[in-house]
């Protein structure tokens, strides 16, 4: 019996060796995905108001969009107040406000609180090289929230727990910008544009204030800094009743500033709505008149004004970015801001 078993085993091995090797498993057909240039896969993307509304409502369905906008605006005003108290320059404050908008683009608005504001200020101080200790930011925030308080012990148990929460939110803020610290503000563009068009100092100062206030709303997620600068100058000329040149160095001013009249007009409408908050009836009527006259920006040929846009990938890349974000929200998972697609 043992010999027969060995022989049977030996024969089965010979039979196996004589058999041809099994064919490889069929390769599944490749999905025909659109080819996207690497320039689309950037962290500092821009989203339209429609796309922002879709993501905001999917992220926090229990709060309407207007309330979410008011909450973000109030948080940006708190950042400005605390930043001035600490002594941060305007660039650092604007960066913190931009980080806040970017944070709430990928996180629930219900996360609003002192910790998110402090985390944005802390990250902004590092980005703009105006570093402050987290302890100083925590004390300034506490005094802002409690004006009658004289001092607060950050080494206490409560202070230590808050510090841990701020550091946790700091990581979330860094993830929301994909660790991309190349943040450009419109202030330098304003100075350059006003010099090119030979505008007055008053025009530059008014445009600077408009650009500074624009960080209270989400236009920094919608338009690049040079468009915000052009819109701020155009709106400032309307508020000051100054003439605005149609041509700059022989070119339409929108083409010279590499922007579009439709974007400038939309930015101006949003800023007028912001400036109308808390104003008197007379001031609101003045802003309403400017609303009506803003269509003058379209008098020139828009197709001739606007810079060449890569329209072939505009709708396609924007749809992918928003749908990918919505899929992550529906799956209950956290956002993955390392894969974003720009709309232009």
Question: 173 with 251, same domain?
Answer: no
Question: 124 with 216, same domain?
Answer: no
- Determine the Cα–Cα distance for residues 261 and 302; give it in Å rounded to an integer: 7
Question: 179 with 266, same domain?
Answer: no
Decide which of 136, 157, 183 is a domain's last residue.
Answer: 183
Predicted pLDDT at 112:
60
Dihedral over Cα of 227, 214, 274, 196: its sign: negative
C-beta of residue 269 within 8 angstroms of C-beta of residue 294: yes
Query: For residue 118, what are the contacts with CB-CB under 8 A and spacing of at least 6?
Result: 134, 137, 138, 141, 166, 169
Residue 74 included in any domain: yes
Cβ-based burial of 225 (10 A; exposed 0-12, middle 13-18, buried ≥19): middle
Nearest Cα residue to 169 out of 121, 216, 215, 218: 121
Look at the chain and report how many structural domains it folds into: 2
Question: 195 with 177, same domain?
Answer: no
Predicted pLDDT at 107:
79
Question: 225 with 120, same domain?
Answer: no
Predicted pLDDT at 33:
37
Residue 287 included in any domain: yes
Question: 299 with 269, same domain?
Answer: yes
Question: 173 with 215, same domain?
Answer: no
Residue 319 included in any domain: no
Question: 113 with 216, same domain?
Answer: no
- Determine the Cα–Cα distance for residues 72 and 108; give it in Å rounded to an integer: 11
Predicted pLDDT at 124:
95
Predicted pLDDT at 286:
86
Residue 102 included in any domain: yes
Mean pLDDT by groups of 10 residues along the chain of 344 residues:
47 56 59 37 64 75 77 91 93 94 79 83 93 90 83 79 90 85 90 90 94 92 92 92 80 83 89 88 86 66 46 40 52 41 34
Residue 1 included in any domain: no
Question: 238 with 289, same domain?
Answer: yes
Residue 266 included in any domain: yes
Residue 341 included in any domain: no
Domain range for 64? 49-183
Question: 76 with 176, same domain?
Answer: yes
Decide which of 160, 183, 206 is a domain's last residue.
Answer: 183
Residue 259 included in any domain: yes
Task: For residue 98, give Cα distances in angstroms to 104, 124, 219, 220, 228.
Answer: 10, 9, 10, 7, 13
C-beta of residue 268 within 8 angstroms of C-beta of residue 217: no
C-beta of residue 91 within 8 angstroms of C-beta of residue 79: no
248 phi, psi to nearest 5 deg: -130, 115
Predicted pLDDT at 255:
82
Predicted pLDDT at 114:
84
Question: 232 with 136, same domain?
Answer: no
Predicted pLDDT at 38:
34
Question: 296 with 196, same domain?
Answer: yes
CATH of the domain at 266: 1.10.472.10
Decide which of 136, 151, 183 is a domain's last residue.
Answer: 183
């Amino acid at each position: 019996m043992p010999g027969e078993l060995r022989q049977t085993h030996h024969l089965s091995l010979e039979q196996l060796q004589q058999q041809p090797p099994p064919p490889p498993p069929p390769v599944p057909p490749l999905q025909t995905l659109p080819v996207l240039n690497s320039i689309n896969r950037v962290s500092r993307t821009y989203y339209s108001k429609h796309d922002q509304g879709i993501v905001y409502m999917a992220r926090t369905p229990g709060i309407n969009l207007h309330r979410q906008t008011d909450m973000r605006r109030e948080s940006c005003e708190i950042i400005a107040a605390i930043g001035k108290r600490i002594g941060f320059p305007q660039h650092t404050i604007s960066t913190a406000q931009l980080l806040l908008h970017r944070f709430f683009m990928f996180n629930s608005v219900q996360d609003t609180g002192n910790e998110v504001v402090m985390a944005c200020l802390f990250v902004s101080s590092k980005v703009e090289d105006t570093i402050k200790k987290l302890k100083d930011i925590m004390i300034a925030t506490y005094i802002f929230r409690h004006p009658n308080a004289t001092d607060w012990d950050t080494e206490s148990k409560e202070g230590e727990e808050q510090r841990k929460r701020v550091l946790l939110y700091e990581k979330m803020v860094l993830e929301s910008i994909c660790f991309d610290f190349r943040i450009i503000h419109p202030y330098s563009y304003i100075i350059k544009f006003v010099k090119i068009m030979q505008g007055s100092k008053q025009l530059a100062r008014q445009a600077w204030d408009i650009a500074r206030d624009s960080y209270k709303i989400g236009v920094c997620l919608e338009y690049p800094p040079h468009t915000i600068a052009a819109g701020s100058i155009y709106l400032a000329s309307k508020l000051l009743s100054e003439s605005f040149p149609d041509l700059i160095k022989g070119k339409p001013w929108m083409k010279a500033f590499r922007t579009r009249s439709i974007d400038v007009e939309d930015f101006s409408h949003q800023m007028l709505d912001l400036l109308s908050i808390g104003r008197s009836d007379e001031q609101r009527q003045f802003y309403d008149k400017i609303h009506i006259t803003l269509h003058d920006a379209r008098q020139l040929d828009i197709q001739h004004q606007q810079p060449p846009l890569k329209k072939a990938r505009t709708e396609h890349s924007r749809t992918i970015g928003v749908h990918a974000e919505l899929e992550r929200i529906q799956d209950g998972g956290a956002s993955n801001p390392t894969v974003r697609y720009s709309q232009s």
